[in-house]
Structure 1
């Protein structure tokens, strides 16, 4: 038997003002998208913004449904829209922000498992990493240089 150790490394920014200008703009787009989210059941709104290599910024937010599995997360809403509208563009960066109506969300909220797998599909397809920045409503912002940092034992087409 062998032991496998996997490490993930993140950069942590204290607040929005510490972000590089382009990421600050991207996160502000994610915040605007979050405010428009449809989350009447969970009261947990999420916004995402994606910067493409053509300079376009695509946003998305979570869209809930009383039949919970029928809703869609902000990250997948944005990434699928980017893939549909700009199929030949690469995703450079993604910003994610989440806020609860029940309490102040102070911890960075990373993408859920389904969203990680969706982001992985595009990272593999474009053969280049996607920088991912995520935060709560306020406080620290975490940066991952690649989705593989968030999902190290990746399921991809090589397994099929």
Structure 2
């Protein structure tokens, strides 16, 4: 047996005011998108904002459905729309904010597994990392330089 050690480096900011100005603005757009979430079942609202290399900012929010698997997370809503509208643009940065409609969320909330896999697909496709910043409604913000830091053993087309 051989042991394999996997390490990731993440960066933690005390709050949104510690972020670089462009990222703070992106996070505010994610917070605006969170207000547009449709989450009548979980009461868990998520907003995403995605900065493209052409300067466009695409936002998304989670959209639930009574048939749970039919819903869509904020991250995938944003990245799928971005690629559909601007297929030649690279995705540079993604800001995420999530919170409960029933209690204040102060812990950083990262993308779910399905979203991590979808973001991985676009990093691989564009051959460039996507910086990911995530937080609750307020409090600390975590930065990942690449989805690979959140999903180090990612599944990609090389396995097909």
TM class by shorter-chain length?
Answer: over 0.9
Look up the match of 2:97. 97
Look up the match of 1:113. 113
Unpaired segments ≥5 residues, structure 2: none
In 2, distance between residues paired with 1:100 and 1:127? 35
Q: Give the RMSD, CA atoms, in angstroms.
A: 0.4
In 1, distance between residues paired with 2:104 and 2:25? 22
Look up the match of 1:34. 34
- Is 1:52 the counterpart of 2:46? The answer is no
Look up the match of 1:16. 16
Deviation per residue, 1:120-155 (Å, 9 max, x gap): 000000000000000000100000000000000010
> 1:113: Cα distance to partner?
0.3
Give the 3-state SS of the residue equivalent to 1:121 in structure 2: helix
Look up the match of 1:139. 139
In 2, distance between residues paired with 1:36 and 1:125? 29
Give the 3-state SS of the residue equivalent to 1:36 in structure 2: coil
Normalising by structure 2, report the TM-score: 0.99
> 1:107: Cα distance to partner?
0.4
Normalising by structure 1, report the TM-score: 0.99
In 2, distance between residues paired with 1:110 and 1:15? 15
Unpaired segments ≥5 residues, structure 1: none
In 1, distance between residues paired with 2:10 and 2:104? 23
Runs of 4+ in 1 over 2 A off after TM superposition: none
Look up the match of 1:155. 155
> 1:40: Cα distance to partner?
0.5
Look up the match of 1:7. 7
Look up the match of 1:86. 86
Deviation per residue, 1:45-73 (Å, 9 max, x gap): 00000000000000000000011000000
The number of residues matched between the two structures is 160
In 1, distance between residues paired with 2:77 and 2:153? 24
